[in-house]
Amino acid sequence: MGIMNANRNSHSVMSGDLVTARVEDEVADVLRAMCAKGVRRAPIVDRQRQLRGIVLVDDLIAVIATELMQLARLIRREQSQELKKTEHPFQDEFAT
């Protein structure tokens, strides 16, 4: 079932809208192109157009989710530091 039948070619299982990602492309750009074409997988090619891999939308979402979590941690840490400063605004001035 999951294996392509020897009598079928790749064109019979592919959509007509091929999105190709380059190795140096930004994650957001690749995701945007894939969404615009409605595809979930894209081949990754190098400068010589040689296949280097395949990226899935799920992979890109995982990368973006990780980056968002790191950003949320940074914001939370900065907010915590700002809150400490507002709780004791003159603490540094009167430190001995």
> Residue 24, Cα to own-chain centre: how many angstroms?
13
3-state secondary structure 2-58: CCCCCCCCHHHCCCCCCCCEECCCCHHHHHHHHHHHCCCEEEEECCCCCEEEEEEHH
pLDDT digits (tens, 9 = 90+) for 43-96: 999 999 999 999 999 999 999 999 999 999 999 999 998 888 777 666 666 555
End-to-end CA distance of the chain: 75
Kindly list the domain boundaries of the chain, sorted by start residue: 16-87
Is-above-0.75 flag for pTM? no
Q: What superfamily does domain 16-87 belong to in CATH?
A: CBS-domain (3.10.580.10)
